[in-house]
Amino acid sequence: MNRPPHSNDLRKGRFSQPAGIYLLTWATRNRTPWVSDWHLGRLVVAALRLSREKAEAETLAFVIMPNHVHWLIGLGNRTLANLLRNVKSHAGFHVKRRLLAQGRIQNDNAIWQDGYHDHALRTEENLQDVARYIVMNPVRAGLVKSVREYPLWDAKWL
C-alpha cells in the first residue's frame, strides 16, 4: 500500500555539505502571515545575521515574506537541521513575543511550520540568477510593483 511520505521520511538521507550552497525555504504555521510588517521582518533578519556571527552560515541572499522565508546560504559549521533549528527558534521567540504583546497570537501558537525545504545548488546553477529569483518573490506575489519598494530582502550581488 502506497502512503504519502511523512515529514520525517522526507528528511531521511538529508546531507549537509560544509561550505555547500543551499536555498532554504520555510513557512509560518498554517501559512499565517505573522511576519506582515517591517518590524517583525527585522526580527527574522536579526536571526539570519546571528547565524553569520556564529559562523553557521554566510547569507548570499534572502527575502522575508509575510508567511515564508527564502534564504540562500553558504553553509558554515552546522548541519542544515541545526542551522534551521537555531534560526527558527531565535526568530520565532522574538516574533512571538512581539505578537503576544500586540494581542495578535495566543501563547500556545507556534510561529513556524515544522521542517523546511532545502535545495543544494549545483555548480552549473548561477548564484546571481537564484538570488534574483529569491528577491523578486514580493513582486511575483503582488505585494509590490518593484523590489525596491520591499524592505525585507538583501543579496550580495544586487
Q: Which three cell numbers stand for residue 91?
A: 526568530
Ordered by where they begin, the domains of the chain are: 24-125 (3.30.70.1290)
Predicted pLDDT at 10: 45
What average pLDDT values come out for the chain (158 residues) when binned by 10 residues? Answer: 49 71 97 94 97 95 98 95 97 96 88 96 89 97 97 87
**Using CA atoms, how far apart are residues 50 and 54, in angstroms rounded to an integer?**
6
* Cα 130 to Cα 125: distance, rounded to the nearest angstrom: 8
Rounded CA gap, 128 and 92, in Å?
A: 29
What gap in Å lies between CA 90 and CA 147, rounded to an integer? 27
Q: What is the pLDDT of residue 156?
A: 86
